[in-house]
Amino acid sequence: NAGVTQTPKFRILKIGQSMTLQCAQDMNHNYMYWYRQDPGMGLKLIYYSVGAGITDKGEVPNGYNVSRSTTEDFPLRLELAAPSQTSVYFCASSPSAMEQFFGPGTRLTVL
C-alpha cells in the first residue's frame, strides 16, 4: 500500500497562473480531504468528499475547486493563483471520517 500520495512535492507559481494538485489513495477510503497549513497555524479544511461524485466546502474554499470522479483520486484545482495561497497543502483520506491518513504534502509558493 502506497497510502496517500501527493504530487508535486514543490511548486512555484506566478500570480494568475493555475494548477492542479494531485492526490490519490489506494486504501479504498470513502472520505477524502484537502487542508492547507500556514506557518504557525493549524490545518484549515479547504474541501472534502464523502464519496465519489460528492464534494463539499470546508472552512477556506475560496479560490479552489475540487472534483471526485473516482474513489481513489481527489484533485485540488487552483484558479488564478494569489500570494495568499502560498502554503503547504495536505490531502488526507479516511474510512470513517475519524482517523485520517495524510499524504506528505505539497509546498506551494505563489510569487
Partner 1 sequence: DQQVKQNSPSLSVQEGRISILNCDYTNSMFDYFLWYKKYPAEGPTFLISISSIKDKNEDGRFTVFLNKSAKHLSLHIVPSQPGDSAVYFCAASGGVTGGGNKLTFGTGTQLKVEL
Q: Nearest distance from residue 15's CB to partner 1, in Å? A: 26
Q: Tell which residue, 8, 10, 17, 1, has the closest CA to residue 93.
A: 1
Q: Which residue, 5 or 20, is less far from partner 1 as judged by CB?
A: 5
Closest CA to 7 of 107, 101, 109, 87: 107
> Which positions from 51 to 80 touch partner 1 by CB under 8 A, shown as an x/- string?
-----x-x----------------------
Q: Which stretch binds partner 1 (CB under 8 A): 16-24, 61-69, 73-81, 98-106?
A: 98-106
Only one residue has cell 494531485, namely 22
Q: How far is CA 46 from CA 38, 56, 73, in A?
A: 13, 9, 16
Summarize as ranges the residues that interact with partner 1 (CB under 8 A).
4, 31, 33, 35, 40-45, 48, 50, 56, 58, 90, 92, 97-105
